[in-house]
Amino acid sequence: MEKELRLGVIGACGRGSLSDWAHKPENGVQVVAGADPYQLQRDGFVKRHQEKFNHTPNVYADYREMLEKEHLDGVFITCPDFMHEEVACYCLEHKTPVYLEKPIAISVEGADRILRTAKENRTRLMLGHNMRYMNFTRKMREIIQSGMIGEVKAIWCRHFVSYGGDAYFRDWHADTKNSCSLLLQKGAHDIDIIHWLAGAVTTRVNGIGSLSVYDKVPRRPLGDEHLYKDKLDITSFWSNDHWPAENLKDFYPTVDNEDLNMVNLQLANGVQACYLQCHFTPDGWRNYTVIGTKGRIENFGDDGAGTKIQVWTRRQDGFHPEGDVVYNMPPPGEGHGGADPVIIQNYVDMLRGNEVPTSTPQGARYAVAAGVLGAKSIRNGGMPFDIPALPEEIENYDFSLNQ
């Protein structure tokens, strides 16, 4: 008989709905409580559970009270980035296993503090890097590991964020005080995937970037920070009619995050990579190419319908659109192409001691470190910065074990 699990969620709406994938009383897992400082969000969480599961969870304004009263076997931390360090460290210090959304923190010091706190308190920690659970990234990694393209030398990722203005410039994300940079808020996913595909992390980064379009979009006045205070779901503000990008309006009062970011990454094993992110494109997806000594792979689509991966393995002059091998990805499932239910099952299995997660806290930290120092480079004339390595005892620690 598997252990019964009582779970809680901190940040009950927005990304908090991820926790719904875990609620399976028939498998002995229940999301019994949620914490959120906002009444509307607490009500929305209860309503969601009642409608989806015919179940009424307990709610708290203060996550510390929830921890004290509920004796949880694990929590999902899905509140905004600037709260991650404080909330994660508090939960870990109180011996509550943590599933923490990306980015792990908004500073390298914050990320390192979370890792240290998990180790010192011998409490399990998993990170929400769901891109490691997507079909196309897994397939790309499998192709690389099969040796088909030889030894990887270069990885280039172009990230087109059509919904960037709606998603990241109308609320807290727009202010660097809350998110540091969209290189880590959004790009932590891709930098982690670059590291995962290459088999090594970034040691040195530099870049250029700018606030090139969204500095001209009208903003709400100072004091009017909470556009979403009367809405449960911020995606209700997303619309393809908000186009072209300069026609957007009602931005957050403080906008100082770059809408264009381009960084070069030197990885520890010699692989060289770049990550290019733009928040005002007409289409929204990521395109990776990985170049090895015997070939090149590239994805078209990123787990939406029709996603495929092409491989070129012969030298030919000119453009060959089909490549030499094509892998068509299965139709997308729900929740980020089907990745969300799989990563959540991975967390449940980790809590029961049955599984080591594919997403790692060390990987999350190196992705944030490259993002933080990439942003520092962008803001300092493109100067390169070295990424500090983790101490060996943290680098080699298994955060999925109850040590």
Residues in 225-244 at the binding interface with ligand NAD, rule: CB under 6 A: 234
Options 30-38, 147-155, 299-307, 365-373: segment touching ligand NAD (CB under 6 A): 30-38
Using CB under 6 A, which of 8, 14, 57, 363 touches ligand NAD?
14
Size of the site for ligand NAD (CB under 6 A): 23
Specify the residue, 178 or 299, whose C-beta has the smaller distance to ligand NAD: 178
Using CB under 6 A, which of 12, 32, 191, 348 touches ligand NAD?
12
Specify the residue, 117 or 206, whose C-beta has the smaller distance to ligand NAD: 117
Options 11-19, 53-61, 251-259, 306-314: segment touching ligand NAD (CB under 6 A): 11-19
Using CB under 6 A, which of 8, 11, 97, 292 touches ligand NAD?
11
Residue 288 corresponds to which amino acid?
Y
Closest to 157 in 3D by CA, of 261, 309, 290: 290
Specify the residue, 267 or 348, whose C-beta has the smaller distance to ligand NAD: 348
Residue 358's region, left for phi above 0, alpha for psi from -120 to 50, else beta, is alpha
- How does DSSP assign 92-107, residue by residue? HHTT--EEEPSSS-SS
Report the nearest approach of ligand NAD to the CB of residue 204 (Å): 25
Residues in 38-67 at the binding interface with ligand NAD, rule: CB under 6 A: 38, 41
Using CB under 6 A, which of 7, 8, 32, 36 touches ligand NAD?
36
First to last CA, the chain: 22
Q: CA-CA distances (angstroms) from residue 49 to 46, 150, 235, 278, 331? A: 5, 49, 19, 36, 28
> How far is residue 277's CA from residue 303's CA, in Å, rounded to a whole number?
18
β-strand partners of 223:
none
Instruction: Please answer whether residues 11 and 78 qualify as being in contact, where contact means their C-beta atoms are separated by less than 8 angstroms.
Output: yes
Buried b / exposed e across 206-244, counting CB within 10 Å, b at 16+? bbebebebbeebebbeeeebebbeeebeeeebeeeebee
The C-alpha angle with vertex 363 and arms to 311 and 255, in degrees rounded to 5, equals 95
Residues in 164-193 at the binding interface with ligand NAD, rule: CB under 6 A: 185
Using CB under 6 A, which of 49, 124, 286, 336 touches ligand NAD?
336
Options 33-41, 117-125, 134-142, 252-260: segment touching ligand NAD (CB under 6 A): 33-41
One character per residue 81-120, x = contact with ligand NAD (rule: CB under 6 A): x-x-----------------xx------------------
Local structure of residue 222 (DSSP, 8 states)? T
Residues that bind ligand NAD (CB under 6 A): 10-16, 36-38, 41, 78-81, 83, 101-102, 128, 130, 185, 234, 336
